[in-house]
């Protein structure tokens, strides 16, 4: 983040991604220092003054109205998720003066019971920083069967899905279209950073991934926002083979608690059969009961 803040970063990046031809502007062949829109061009498209837009992009204006933000969103051709993110970033300074440190993440007994009820369906509980707070047996088997199943039980050892996607060879191989999964992870982290701008652990995670993964650094600099409530992913699972699952992220209405991620497949499909096989393979093994009439050793 530059010295002017998340809002400035977002506006500069998205303005730089639009070409004059994308918005119907003619350039008449003149040489341009950068390929993206100029500030004055974006201000004209949004119907606001160039000095005002410049102050906003430089972090010097803190009271942009909803109408002005919507006009800028229209000029930048933002989708609904990106538009909401823009409004959130514009309120960051105001919220930061009153917001306390984010609460520690934990799952409720109701969520624990829900995971148990989904005993044959892969499910994991993800925190705001993409830490795995809990998973059921199929969830562990599908997403991270190479890791210790008890990992989420200890906060210091919890797997982190963003780290796994970018830094773990097993997880990279698991997704047939890894770039699509990676972009979804980055887009979700962008949304989270907008909601929790003062979370030091989240900032540390983003810094770590930026330093350790050139691919993450490139995607993060793109400032793409992606709310991935439902997405289909092809997977190459080492135990049950190739399959396609629909990952659904179920969030509380407030959007500030842990999210439940559930993986399903079309009924009757080969992928559904693969998930059934995975559920059987990860089911707890019961001890074989002694046959009736068998003699037990004397103590």
Topology given in CATH for the domain delimited by 6-96: 434 Repressor (Amino-terminal Domain) (1.10.260)
CATH architecture of 109-282: 2-Layer Sandwich (3.30)
Residue 99 CB partners (closer than 8 Å, separation 6+)? 198
Candidates 159, 243, 174; CA nearest to 205 is 159
Burial class (CB in 10 A: 0-12, 13-18, 19+), 186: buried
CA–CA dist 45, 39 (Å, integer): 10
Domain with CATH 3.30.450.180 in the chain: 109-282
Packing angle of the helix pair 39-46, 66-76 (nearest 10 deg): 120
pLDDT (tens, 9 = 90+) of the chain, 299 residues, equals 444 577 888 888 888 888 877 777 776 656 666 777 888 888 888 888 888 888 888 877 767 888 888 888 888 888 887 888 888 888 765 554 445 556 678 888 988 999 999 989 999 999 989 999 999 999 999 999 999 999 999 888 899 999 999 999 999 999 999 999 999 999 989 888 888 888 888 989 999 999 999 999 999 988 877 777 899 999 999 999 999 999 999 887 666 678 999 999 999 999 999 999 999 999 887 644 444 444 444 44
Please answer whether residues 242 and 235 qualify as being in contact, where contact means their C-beta atoms are separated by less than 8 angstroms.
yes
Distances 165 to 138, 215, 250, 254 between C-alpha atoms, Å:
19, 11, 20, 27
């Amino acid at each position: 983040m530059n010295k002017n803040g998340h809002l400035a970063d977002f506006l500069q990046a998205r303005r730089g991604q639009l070409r004059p031809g994308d918005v119907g502007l003619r350039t008449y062949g003149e040489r341009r220092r950068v390929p993206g829109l100029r500030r004055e061009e974006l201000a004209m498209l949004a119907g606001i003054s160039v000095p005002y837009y410049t102050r906003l992009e430089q972090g010097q204006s803190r009271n942009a109205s909803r109408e002005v933000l919507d006009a800028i969103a229209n000029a930048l051709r933002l989708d609904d998720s990106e538009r909401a993110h823009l409004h959130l970033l514009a309120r960051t300074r105001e919220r930061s003066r009153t917001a306390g440190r984010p609460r520690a993440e934990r799952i409720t007994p109701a969520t624990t019971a829900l995971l148990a009820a989904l005993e044959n369906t892969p499910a994991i509980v993800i925190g705001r920083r993409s830490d795995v707070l809990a998973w059921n047996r199929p969830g562990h088997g599908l997403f991270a069967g190479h890791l210790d199943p008890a990992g989420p039980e200890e906060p210091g050892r919890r797997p982190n899905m963003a780290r796994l996607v970018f830094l773990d060879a097993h997880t990279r191989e698991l997704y047939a279209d890894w770039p699509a999964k990676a972009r979804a992870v980055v887009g979700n982290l962008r949304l989270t950073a907008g909601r929790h701008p003062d979370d030091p652990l989240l900032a540390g995670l983003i810094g770590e991934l930026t330093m350790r993964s050139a691919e993450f650094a490139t995607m993060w600099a793109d400032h793409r926002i992606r709310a991935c409530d439902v997405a289909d992913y092809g997977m190459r699972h080492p135990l049950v083979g190739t399959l396609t699952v629909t990952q659904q992220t179920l969030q509380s209405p407030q959007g500030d608690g842990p999210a439940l991620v559930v993986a399903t497949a079309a009924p009757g499909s080969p992928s559904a059969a693969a998930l059934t096989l995975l559920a059987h393979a990860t089911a707890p093994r019961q001890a074989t009961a002694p046959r009736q009439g068998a003699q037990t050793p004397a103590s």
